[in-house]
Amino acid sequence: MNTSNTFLSIRWKAGLFFSSILLIFLLIFHVIIYWNVQQKFVFFRSQLQEQYHQQLLGQITTTRDQLQRLAELLISPDTTQQAASGKHKDILERIQRYRSDLELNWDVSQVQLFDSTGRNLGGWGPPTPKFIKSIITLTAETELAQNQLNCEVSCKQYLLLPILADNTTNHVLVLGYNLTQSLLDFQAQTGADIAIISDQSNTQELRQADTSLWERHLNVLTSFNSNIAYLRYLAKHYRYQDIDHDKLILRDSNLPVEFQFVKLKQVSNVVLVIIDNIANQQHELSSLTYRTIAWSLIGLIAIGGSLFLLLSAPLRRLSAVSKALPLLAEKKYLEVRNMLNHTLPRRYIDELNILEQSAVVLSEQLEDLESSVNKQTDSLNKRTQELIQERDFVSNLIDTAQLIIITLDKNHCISSFNELATRITGYQASDVLNQSFEQFFHPSDWQRVDQSLKQLSDHGEKIVHMESDILSTDGQSHTISWIHSNFRVPTNNAVILSVGIDITEKKQNETELRWLATHDPLTELYNRKKLKNQFEHILKQAIFNEQQGILLVLDLDHFKDINDSCGHNIGDQLLKNVARALTEVSRDKDVLARLGGDEFAIILPETDLNTAIILCEQISARLHTLHFEFEQVRYSISSSIGIVPFPLNEFNVDRLLSSADLAMYQAKSHGKDTWRLFTHDDMLGKQLQERMRWKQKIEDALSDDRFILYFQPIMQIQTQAVSHYEVLLRMLDEDGEVHSPGMFIEIAEQSGLIHRIDHYVLEKGIAKLADLEHQGINITLSLNLSAHAMLDADLIPLLKHLLGQYNASPDHLLFELTETAAVADINQARLLMSEMRDLGCRFSIDDFGSGFASFRYLRELPVDMVKIDGMFITHITENNDDKLFVEALVSVAKGMGKNTVAEFVESAEILEVLAELGVDYAQGYYIGKPQPTLLDGPITFIQ
């Protein structure tokens, strides 16, 4: 053992290590605490400054409103008429009469009357500042009251009120209010000081020499002696542009105060500064930090010392073991056992006990080791035999491995050939040993293989990877991925190791994948990607040769209904039949593709419009022959076709495809089973493109589950408790924008997607109801149905299925259908309502009163609730006709045993009128806005 190294006990190492770890942990802990305290301090100060800001603006707004009321009291209606006649003396007389009251009780320091040209007609108080005078004529011209803050003479708040008579402004009344009391009130209420800085010099307010800050003038400063130094510091170290922002909060580490800068609207030359002393709070933060550090250091010392003392006794025993172990090398086995042979504790042992006993056992084993040398010789002989067995195992492993393993000598002749190589090539090992590797390759491939093998032997390459085909005895070709490598210890018979994997099936799969990349696997037609590539080439040829071609885009009519009714297998078979029919009627040079779903495209090169129209007629006739029956229902097949000639106005492929889509959708809108030629008159373009864009958005939202439900509370007026919620649909766009139904419902109805939306709302609404019931929340959800729901044969079966699937209570489901939709097909509406009521659900008619014969339909429809159209509610407090209509409707509904709901309730006044009229429920922004979650507490009315 090297005795020159300095010895350091494990006891000291362990103590230093754990103390260091603990110290690092405490440092990190304190940094986190300090950062958290600082964040809370900054948040608290931000909240407090926001209160100061609101309170200061409230003081100024209160003063403005007070001046407004005082000015209006000075001007009576009869006085206005006299002023209009040129008699302004009565106004001046009232100004003088109330002067003492205004000065003493209202702190008004100035009241003066001006005509519309700015001429002073009288009044009292100091001279009106030039700036205030300059806007008198503007006030008269705009006939709008002006509120200004001005510090030319002293800092005052001015109100300029136009006096109107005979529809013209004849005079302007100016009132001035000294801000001193407002600022002192603000200081008393908040404890914060305030300063006013403007570009107007005013030494009267400060009663001392003019103080310039940022080349502006300090007009007002509370606690002047305490705060002037802080402001001068700011002016010295900060530019005016840096602080000229509303609600800017500034803290400087060299100052014990915090500043907030307030900018007033319409007063660009005045800045208010709120000054709040935060020295005590900062001192408390520092004290807290120092106390925490001190206690942590004390804890560190205590824990480190305790750990040091705790480890002392075990480490003394460990030291004894370390002294005993070197004796084993000196073969002093008995001395080692005498040093360590301690008796074990009766109950608990530790690692040191185990180490001591292990050292004792080790000494005994080493002592026995010398007598077992002969035995080890026998063991070596056995090991030799085992190595022979391992060699045989490796040989068997090579034969059973699913790899071709071949070794070659320096002449590239085969020296070993495993079992898999025999199975793939058909050659036995005995037939190919010492034969050239060349016999397995085609001559054109062998040249490349031979060159690769020479790179290993001649150029020192370690590994060469390549792919090549080999020929078997039956003439079949197999694609093999080879790894050729040099042996680390070559022999005369084995220089190169060639390992191969049969990738024939993989290559075949890759070929199939390449086909799938350009073809539709169902119809075996080109897919959209391949069509666009072909179209690019055909379009360039047509432009170059100045030839016309035609693009057809066709969409099967009512395919979704067939797919939903008959099943996807029937739908897929129909698509195959359509693809074959299109292939039969098209020419060899035409390009056919399935664009997706039930949409196909045909490119007709070198074709005029008449030929294309004839082909459209042939397609229509051929598709009619594909009719079939399923479950005794006959289905006819037709399509809507959009026609676009090309080249067309430098349109590219995407533009031509979208134009054909537009023409196809127009064909659908004109009755389906027809064709439509795209022309520039169809632009309509932007409108139709927008519809297509929204159709795609709707399909993506349905596929990606990006429709979301919002819930608007409906309150029982008498108890003011939420009885149920109306479920409203919203669409979440890919960019996070939320769209209301008005953006997409019309498109969904036109494109046939409305049934999917109805089904989506039905499932999500019932799932939400079941979740609420599982939580013990008994609430009713009101689901809106589209007008097309009455014609949806799948709606009632789906409703039954979902109620059973989610185990939801149907008596907590309320369905809404608009009066307009119900009246459009009243028999179908009555049937739908009756079927839903038979399931235990309830029904409400929405927007009631918007039709011409509302009361008659109310008797004929089996509804439980009547939701009054919002147009009768919005102005019910002012419009007596609306009030009479609602009163009559409530009376009729109650007579028929139906409840009434008023929507668009947006104020307490409307709610009070509805309560007087006996309306049962109220819904609107005053009760609650639509939200993605239910209310979590009592109603908070929204003004």
Q: What digits encode the pLDDT tens for the residues 664-723?
A: 888 887 778 899 898 765 455 566 567 778 888 888 999 999 999 999 999 999 999 998
Superfamily of domain 401-509: PAS domain (3.30.450.20)
Q: Which CATH superfamily is domain 46-281 in?
A: PAS domain (3.30.450.20)
- Residue whose token pair is 């080879």: 482
| The pLDDT of residue 853 | 45
Two tokens, residue 622 = 């051929």
pLDDT above 80 (res 863): yes
482: helix, strand or coil: strand
| pLDDT for residue 208 is more than 60 | no
Strands 156-165 and 738-739, by their bridges, are unpaired
Name the packing angle between helices 568-585 and 609-624 (round to 10°): 140
The identity of residue 82, as a single letter, is Q
Indicate the pLDDT class of residue 641, thresholds 50, 70 and 90.
very high
Distance of CA 193 to the CA centre of its chain: 44
Give the whole-angstrom CA distance, residue 621 versus residue 634: 17
- The whole-number pLDDT of residue 86 equals 47
What is the end-to-end Cα distance of the chain in Å, rounded?
A: 89
- Tell me whether domains 46-281 and 401-509 share a fold: yes
pLDDT at position 314, please?
73
Domain ranges of the chain: 46-281, 283-369, 401-509, 522-683, 712-729+753-922
Q: Is there a contact between 393 and 382 (Cβ–Cβ < 8 Å)?
A: no
Give the separation between CA 387 and CA 385, rounded to whole angstroms: 5
> Do the Cβ atoms of 467 and 503 come closer than 8 Å?
yes
Summarised one tens digit per residue, pLDDT across range 436-458 is: 887 888 887 888 888 777 777 77
What is the model's pLDDT at position 603? 95
Q: What is the mean pLDDT of residues 73-95?
A: 63
pLDDT for 824 equals 58
pLDDT of residue 639: 92
Kindly report the number of other CB atoms within 10 A of residue 513's CB atom: 9
Q: pLDDT band at residue 31, thresholds of 50, 70 and 90?
A: confident
Whether residue 205 is predicted with pLDDT greater than 80 in this model: the reply is no
Say if CB 510 and CB 503 are below 8 A apart.
no
What single-letter amino acid sits at 261? Answer: F
The answer on pLDDT for 630 being more than 90 is no
Out of 3.30.70.20, 3.20.20.450, 2.40.50.140, 3.20.20.60, the CATH code matching 712-729+753-922 is 3.20.20.450
Q: State how far the alpha carbon of 464 is from the alpha carbons of 461, 482, 484, 485, 486, in Å.
A: 7, 8, 5, 6, 9
Q: What is the DSSP letter of 522?
A: T
The most distant pair of C-alpha atoms in the chain lies apart, rounded to whole Å, by 141
Residue with tokens 């942590």: 296
Average pLDDT, the chain: 81
DSSP 20-82: HHHHHHHHHHHHHHHHHHHHHHHHHHHHHHHHHHHHHHHHHHHHHHHHHHHHHHH--HHHHHH
Give residue 754's identity as a one-letter amino acid code: I
Convert the pLDDT of each residue in 522-565 to its tens digit.
Answer: 899 999 889 999 999 999 999 999 899 999 999 998 887 787 67
* Token pair of 909 as six digits: 């006044």
Spell out the alpha helix ranges (H) of 341-475.
351-369, 373-400, 419-425, 429-432, 443-458
d(CA 551, CA 555): 14
Distance CA 778, CA 808 (A): 11
Q: Which two tokens stand for residue 483?
A: 């790894």
Query: How does pLDDT run across 728-787, given as a tens digit for each residue?
Result: 999 999 888 999 988 888 888 766 788 899 999 999 999 999 999 999 888 999 999 887
Closest CA to 272 of 59, 130, 46: 59
Confidence of residue 823 (pLDDT cuts 50, 70, 90): low
User: Which are the contacts of 450, defined by CB distance < 8 A and separation ≥ 6?
Assistant: 412, 438
What is the predicted pLDDT for the residue at 535?
93
pLDDT(207) > 60:
no
pLDDT the model gives residue 79: 44
**Which homologous superfamily is 522-683 in?**
Reverse transcriptase/Diguanylate cyclase domain (3.30.70.270)
Q: Quick one: which of 844, 829, 852 has its CA closest to 923?
A: 844
pLDDT recorded at residue 418: 82
Task: Locate 110 and state its tokens.
Answer: 């100035």
Beta strands in 649-801 (DSSP E): 675-677, 707-716, 721-732, 738-739, 780-784
Please return the burial class of 680, using the count of CB atoms within 10 Å of its CB with bins 0-12, 13-18 and 19+.
Answer: exposed
* 70: confidence class by pLDDT, cuts 50, 70, 90: confident
Query: Identity (one letter) of the amino acid at 541?
Result: Q
What Å distances lie between residue 311 and 194, 297, 321, 445, CA to CA?
Answer: 64, 21, 15, 75
* Beta-carbon count within 10 A of 106 CB: 16
Cross-strand bridge partners of residue 716 = 721, 921
Model confidence at 401, pLDDT cuts 50, 70, 90, reads: low
Give the number of other CB atoms < 10 A from CB of residue 351: 9
Q: Is the dihedral of CA 197, 201, 205, 209 positive or negative?
A: positive
pLDDT value, residue 83 = 41
Distance (Å, whole) CA 637 – CA 620: 9
